[in-house]
Amino acid sequence: MKGKFITFEGSEGSGKSTQSKLLARYLRQEGYSVVYLREPGGTAISEKIRSILLDGEHKKMCAECETLLYMAARAQVVDEIIMPALMAGKIVVCDRFLDSTLAYQGYGLGVDIKKIKDIGMFATCGIKPDLTIFMDLPIRKGLKHRDGAKDRIEKRSLAYHHRVRSGYLTMARKEPHRIKTVKVQKEKEETQRLIRTLADILLARRG
| Adjacent-strand bridge partners of 86 | none
Can you tell me the mean pLDDT for 19-45? 97
CATH code at 75?
A: 3.40.50.300
pLDDT tens digits for range 132-169? 999 999 888 877 766 666 788 888 899 999 999 999 99
- Count of domains for the chain: 1
The whole model's pTM is what? 0.94
Those residues whose C-beta lies under 8 Å from the C-beta of residue 68, and which sit 6 or more positions away, are 119
Domain of 89? Answer: 4-204
Query: Can you give the pLDDT at residue 207?
Result: 45
Question: Nearest CA to 195 among 14, 3, 13?
Answer: 14
Can you tell me the mean pLDDT for 16-24? 97
Q: Are strands 4-10 and 34-38 parallel, antiparallel or unpaired?
A: unpaired
